Structures are given as structure tokens and as C-alpha cells.
Amino acid sequence: MGLPELSGLNLHSKWPAGPLNLITDVPGVKVGQVTLKDPVQDINTGVTVVLPHEGNIFRDKVMAGASIINGFGKSIGLIQLKELGTIETPIVMTNTLSIGTAFTSLTKYMLKQNPDIGVKTGTVNCLVTECNDGRLNDIRGLHIEEKHIIEAIVDAGTKFAEGAVGAGTGMCCLGLKGGIGSASRIIKADGKKYTVGALVMSNFGGAGNLVIGGKHYDTKEAGKDQGSIIILIATDLPLSERQLNRVSKRATIALARTGSYCGNGSGDIAIAFTTANRVPHYSKRKILEYKMFDDDSIDLVFESTVEAVEEAVISSLWHADSITGIRGKQAMGLQDFLKGSINEDDK
């Protein structure tokens, strides 16, 4: 976790990282995870949940935007997010065939927290995202249960593990072991410090395409650019939903920097939200006032976002251990791969 561990990989960093170098450096943001691993049953899967703030998210929504970079995916809740520009539930990450279970569990959680849903007001737009971990996990076994989503929400805090944990347990990325990765950047605006944080579930890219700090790494195996990545970007900067859509699009640049060309079979989705602009579910006022960033100055937000997302992707690889999954499929962690590369260079 953090720049010191990754410094040897020559990642460019113009902006300093936050104290944890995690998405939770954005005040109020929390992350919880449940990891399911059973080598006998070939289980390598899990759940990762991001809470945009510590309060009632349904009653106090956060402004948000999203970019469907390549839409080969089965996520739930993106249509309303794009239409209204808000997030009103925790954000769940899991495997592709478990989104129904996650949706049901998250819905029950929201109903329990908000007795007015479906009675005095409308329904709730639960946000569930996914990647396919079937290369390493018995995805047909449907091992994610409703209780695991609740456990992840209850577990949420500011410190969390990266790599082959939570929803990233069974993910593969760029020919290596993928998973959960995170990073943050601190920027200044009008004399005040703000944070841009990123969290990814990396499962994209063809083997042999890995690029770190501008250097290409040959993973000895050619392959299509396929799979998926879910990218979450959080900030305490006052941005409008239009600006958050623009920020989410910049995640594409980070993917390109790490070796992706967003292939035909890749589900690449970026979601950005701000904790600074809250939208009340109930309001006595018809006109609400919000702050936004000056568009002529927003390049520093774009640049810091690209840095954070790029490092989050590399961090997901760096912290992932090598594993053997279902049908004997192996995925090597980045650290083990680099040791092998160094040994080959020494011959």
C-alpha cells in the first residue's frame, strides 16, 4: 500500500499521495470486504463495498457521474445514476453471477435502514458492479450469499487490504493476478487541500500487454484484451454531476497507460462521486444551491485522477499473491513475476 512500496516501478507522480494512499483518504469514505477462499471447492471470490459517506446515503445522496468505457458488463443501477447524477446506496463489487444476490441483499439493507422506501416515497436505486472471476473461481457455484454483502458493509472502515481480497480474490489482469487496488492524490485549490481517491477491481487486459511507468513487461503469453475493470473515483472537491462524468472519462487514460486498449470483450466502467455536493431525498426548498469547480482550472483534477487510477491498477497487481484456481488455472502475482524477470535478466 502506498508509494514507498511501488517506488521501484517508476510510476510518475506529480501530486502527493494521501496519508493512507487509499480511496478512504477522502473524508467519510469507507471500504469493507469479505473474502471467500476454499482450495478444495475451488472457491476464490468475495465482496467489496464502498460507502460514500458515514450517514444515511438514501436520504443524503452524493452527486455522481459515470463513464461506460466499454459496455460488456452486467452492473445494476447505472441507468438511474447517469440520468439523475446521484448515488443513494453503498456501492457493491462482486462477481458477475452474484449481482442478483448482492442486489437483493443491498435492497433489504436499504429497506431496513429506510422504512419509508416503497411506502411514503419511491423505491431505491441499488448500485451493484461486477467482473467475471470464472477463470480462477467456481463461479457456477454461486458461493456469494446475502449475508456476505451485509458483513462487508458492517466491516467497512478506512484501512483495508489490497490485492487478491474481497471482490478481487479471483480476478486476473494483464496476464497476472489482479484484484483490488487503491490510491489517492492531494491537490490544492483556492488555498485548501482536497483529495482525489481511486479504487479498482482489475480483471482486464491481454497477457503480454502490461506497462508500468512506461516500461513494457512481456508476460510470455499473448492474449486478447478481455475481462473487465470497475473503477471508483471519490473526491471531496465540489464538482457537478456533469464534471463528474468528465472526470470518470479520464479513467480511460489510466487504463491505456497500464496496457489496455479496451477490447471487445472488456467491461470497463468508471464511476465518480463527490462527498462535497449532497442531494437531500426530502427537501422543503424547490431550489438547491451547489458549488462547482471552474472548468478552466479542472485539468488538475483530471491529471490527479489519471495518476490515482493508474497507481490503483498497478497496486492491485502488486499486492496480489500468486494462486492456483479452478481447473488448475494459475495466476502469478506481479511481485513473483518481477522476481522471475530479474532472474532471467541475470542469466
Tell me which residues are annotated as active site: 228, 266, 268
The span from the CA of 107 to the CA of 126, in Å, is 7
The span from the CA of 76 to the CA of 128, in Å, is 5
Tell me, what amino acid is at 305? T
Which of these, 126, 117, 114, 128, lies nearest to 55 by C-alpha position? 114
The span from the CA of 95 to the CA of 101, in Å, is 10
CA distances from 85 to 62, 164, 200, 210, 322 (A): 8, 31, 21, 34, 39
CA distances from 95 to 45, 169, 268, 288 (A): 7, 10, 14, 38
| Cell numbers linked to 72 | 460488456
The C-alpha cell 513494457 sits at 216
**Which residues is 47 bridged to in the sheet?**
34
Identify the burial level of 201 via C-beta atoms within 10 angstroms of its C-beta, where 0-12 means exposed, 13-18 middle and 19 or more buried.
buried
Q: Which helix (H) or strand (E) holds 248?
A: helix 241-249
